[in-house]
Copies of this chain bind each other. A is one copy, B any other.
Amino acid sequence: MARYPGLTLRILGDGEPAMGPGKAALIERIAETGSISAAARAMGMSYRRAWQLVEALNTSFTEPVVITATGGRRGGGTIVTDFGRQLAARFHAMENKASTAIARDLGQFSQHLRKGAGRRNRAGG
């Protein structure tokens, strides 16, 4: 089962989120585009914010996740390491595994949901 849309996973290191849906997506966009600025643009995120997340990733883990070439054009020569790709892949595998574990319960629980209730009711929580 793919990730259940109501399930959010963050991997905590020292209580801080070291990996979550946003960082995993950023890693994948950088791997696709070879550029932090292009990845940030694709995600509607500022370059500054993307750069902060990349720095946080490189600080949180024992091996580099994203390597940026210095001296080149801004965002040019950026690569995601194999280690970084594996982190993102394993993160998504965990999201999927957690979702699969509760798929049957979700189906049973959802039988108690009134149809159309969401349109009459906007309160979250």
Contact = CB atoms under 8 A, between A and B. Distances in A.
A45 to B, nearest CB: 9
A10 interface: yes
Interface stretch (A31-39, A68-76, A101-109): A101-109
Interface string A10-50: 11111111111011001000000000000000000000000
Contacts of A121: 16, 55-56, 59-60
Interface in A80-125: 83, 87, 90-91, 93-94, 97-102, 105-106, 109-110, 112-125
Nearest to A23: B125
A9 interface: yes
18 contacts: A5-B12, A6-B12, A6-B20, A7-B7, A7-B98, A8-B8, A14-B115, A14-B117, A14-B119, A20-B125, A53-B125, A55-B121, A59-B121, A60-B121, A61-B114, A61-B117, A91-B109, A98-B101
